[in-house]
Amino acid sequence: MTRKKKTEAAEEIVTAYKGFNQDLTCRGYQFEIGGTYKHEGDVEACASGFHACEYPLDVLGYYRPAGSRFALVEQSGDLSRHDGDSKVASRKISIKAELTIAGLVKAAIEYTASRCKPVDPESPASSTGDRGAASSTGD
């Protein structure tokens, strides 16, 4: 399933991660590091437009680690998100920097850490004592 979102007013810029074949091609389209590209036509996740993933390790579901190349990209213009993972199709894409597998893993850790929320100390869900289980109640 896909969700289509057209941006208005301030253009949304999505930071994402893209996989390529060894020669920096993807679906027959030639890319280069530092390049910016614009898709003509419809933008729909899994169908058309430039695709990349917001969560760095999702890209490994589309490109195998051995024999592929990866990059940090920025997507903008019309956007369409995939419901199954963090894949985003876009009208425009800028290839910012090439990443190694270690770079993808580091980006995944930063992605996850940036979305962590501190626990509210007043929350009733807590773990206490030796081997306590969070909000464990009942018989």
Delineate the domains of the chain, giving CATH numbers in brackets: 2-114 (3.20.170)
45 pLDDT higher than 60? yes
**Is the pLDDT higher at 79 or at 4?**
79
Helix (DSSP H) and strand (DSSP E) numbers for the chain? 1, 8
The pLDDT, as a whole number, for residue 14 is: 97
**Is the pLDDT higher at 125 or at 70?**
70
| 45 SS3 class | coil
Chain-centroid distance of CA 6 in Å reads: 18
Rg (CA), the chain: 19
